[in-house]
Structure 1
Amino acid sequence: MNILNRAIVIAGPTGVGKTKISVDLAKELNAEIISSDSAQVYKGLNIGTAKITNEEMQGIKHHLIDIVEPVSKYSVGNFEKDVNKILNQNPEKNFLLVGGTGLYLNSVTNGLSVLPEADKKTREYLTTLDNQVLLELALKYDREATEEIHPNNRIRLERVVEVFLLTGQKFSELSKKNIKNNNFKFLKIALERDRKNLYDRINKRVDIMFAQGLIEEVENLYKIYGEKLYKLNIIGYNEIIDYINGKISLDEANYRIKLNSRHYAKRQFTWFKTDKEYQWFNLDKILEQKIVKSIHTLFNIKA
């Protein structure tokens, strides 16, 4: 596939400050923004996901925000298809992919492996096998993949066997064959802050969420969607649901949201650091305007 077009990725941990820089950069480049956040696709989840407001958008068109109900299943595969449709239908436009969901971003910049969908009959057969037989089959069909799985993790073992039964090929091999469904080359930018400052920002943001009405937002959504909301497993929502159900105190919910958000930020940081294509900018050491100008220059140089 010929590389003809370019786009920019603005990534980084939660709370680092991606929103303002991306909007400022989009205005300079006359670009549109594609939200790359696995939680902001859901309608109604506004305060707890720190969803960008219309005022903050400053007239910049944003894609993939508020596109599905919380009861709908939205996966990395859905995201990859939706983004590539936007990119491929508008090759003349400048786009920024902005967010902290590394798996989602990776699906567009590097592609996804093509694995078969779950097969009902095969799954029913596999559930009849005891753990030892399932493990032996997995080792027989794909030792490399199986040796990375805990022997009691039936879900992953079943998937290894299922893929082989459906395709005759190993999961470990198929999962490494990524197919990229766009002809864009991506300038990858990641934002960071000194750890203490980032954690302070996260803590303050959580306090702001509470002041903005996070509890009321979750209560209203929980009345509509019930446990389906909990199953989304989104930080800020599960903790408040536990509070609503009397499992923890409000102070404990606040503490857990901050703690889980900090842990998530650390995992995001680790994810993006492993991809050596990212160019990093520290918002505690470089002024935002200089970062925007630097990214603009890099984009023009390599265009």
Structure 2
Amino acid sequence: MDALYNAAKPRVVAIGGPTATGKTALSVALAKRFGGEIISADSMQIYQGLDVGTAKVTPEEMQGVPHHLVGFLAPEQAFSVADFTTLAGKTITQLTAQGKLPLVVGGTGLYITSLLNGIGFTPEKVDPAIRQELQARLQAEGSQALYVELAAVDPGYAAKVHPNNTPRVIRALELYRATGRKMSAEREAARPAEKPYRSLCLCLTCRDRTLLYQRIDTRCDRMMQSGILEEAKLVYDHRDTYRTAAQAIGYKEFFPYFEGTADLESCLAHLKQASRNYAKRQLTWFRRQTDAVWLYLEDGNLEQQAAEQTEAFLAENNA
């Protein structure tokens, strides 16, 4: 096995798919079975102190398996896909050198596909004046106004970004205003001729969308029992500095409750609906990955299916 891990092109197993499909449990089982460690590919679980609303893996769920890129960053700090690919790439190199199998696990599809495809990112030079103007416009006019501007100047990139994903919308507008370059062209130019890793991408979902939504609703109810309201209040009180968390599903849905404009029941219902909508976007993203292997919860024996796929992947020659 060591020879496989120490090959010139490291092997990586990725586990993606929509929220509430059991990615954490499966990844831990595979890590224990194949001597691996887990690299989180979740854009919110990176933050310290935001555990319930991000469904962050618990020490009990880890079962002693080391997890990387979890809870290491203060909520005031920004974190981009470029930051992720840099840190995850370094971790893959370290784990490979130690003869361990890197498992990249999470629901942030942009993180996983950018890493596996070796997308390069040039350092972002942010003009403070442009950033302040866009932030002011966001507060005054809302995210839709910024998205409309992005769609006008770079329709190709806008088609890949959700209108409420304001960090990505703002970064694309900053690039265009500062340089005249489109983010869609930047991303295309950043794609290398050869991928940096030999990878297997397993994606979990449900054949029956109703089952997926039931699992999401159950997770949201458990979050309420586990103290998500206290975390949401923390984010609300620091919304001017916790900018990313303040836009995240799991927290902003409760802001109307703190402002006295909605009751708790309606906010929870809004959280469930927002989470279901997010799951649909995750499915759309991962289904674009034509080399993904889909595993369905209704079929059962997920761990065995995933183990067989992983064994076959690791047995492939290095050609």
User: Partners of 1:170 and 1:255 in 2: how far apart?
Assistant: 38
The alignment partner of 1:28 has SS state of helix
User: Partners of 1:77 and 1:105 in 2: how far apart?
Assistant: 12
Does structure 1 residue 178 correspond to structure 2 residue 190? yes
Match of 2:304 in 1: 290
The structural deviation recorded for 1:174 is 3.2
Match of 2:210 in 1: 196
Match of 2:83 in 1: 78
Match of 1:16 in 2: 21
Percent identical among aligned pairs is 35
What is the TM-score of this pair, normalised by structure 1?
Answer: 0.82
User: Partners of 1:157 and 1:87 in 2: how far apart?
Assistant: 32
Match of 2:175 in 1: 159
The structural deviation recorded for 1:239 is 1.1
Match of 1:251 in 2: 265
Measured against aligned partners, the alpha-carbon deviations of 1:147-202 in whole angstroms (never above 9, x if no partner) come to 6589xx998566335334xxxx7755432022569842111111111211010000
Match of 2:313 in 1: 299
The structural deviation recorded for 1:287 is 1.8
The alignment partner of 1:162 has SS state of helix
How many residues were matched structurally?
278
Measured against aligned partners, the alpha-carbon deviations of 1:207-250 in whole angstroms (never above 9, x if no partner) come to 01101111123224544x24333653111111123311223210
8 Å Cα contact 1:114/1:179 also seen in 2: no
8 Å Cα contact 1:24/1:292 also seen in 2: no
Choose 106-115 or 76-85, whichever is displaced more.
106-115
Residue type of the alignment partner of 1:103 = L
Which has the larger Rg? Answer: 1
User: Partners of 1:209 and 1:154 in 2: how far apart?
Assistant: 30
The structural deviation recorded for 1:46 is 0.7
RMSD of the alignment, in Å?
Answer: 2.9
Residue type of the alignment partner of 1:6 = R
User: Partners of 1:230 and 1:253 in 2: how far apart?
Assistant: 20
The alignment partner of 1:7 has SS state of strand
Match of 1:140 in 2: none
Distance change >3 Å, CA 52–CA 231, structure 1 → 2 = closer
Choose 104-113 or 66-75, whichever is displaced more.
104-113
Residue type of the alignment partner of 2:210 = K
Does structure 1 residue 273 correspond to structure 2 residue 287? yes
- Structure 1 residue runs of 5 or longer lacking an equivalent are 128-143
Distance change >3 Å, CA 160–CA 299, structure 1 → 2 = same
- What are the within-5 Å matches in structure 2 for residues 9-158 of structure 1? 9-91=14-96, 92-115=99-122, 117-118=124-125, 120=127, 123=130, 146=154, 148=156, 156=172
Distance change >3 Å, CA 120–CA 228, structure 1 → 2 = closer
- Structure 2 residue runs of 5 or longer lacking an equivalent are 1-6, 135-151, 159-168
The alignment partner of 2:200 has SS state of strand
User: Partners of 2:66 and 2:101 in 1: how far apart?
Assistant: 11
The structural deviation recorded for 1:116 is 5.8
Residue type of the alignment partner of 2:114 = S
Distance change >3 Å, CA 296–CA 253, structure 1 → 2 = same
Residue type of the alignment partner of 1:94 = L
Match of 1:134 in 2: none
Distance change >3 Å, CA 155–CA 227, structure 1 → 2 = closer
The alignment partner of 2:201 has SS state of strand
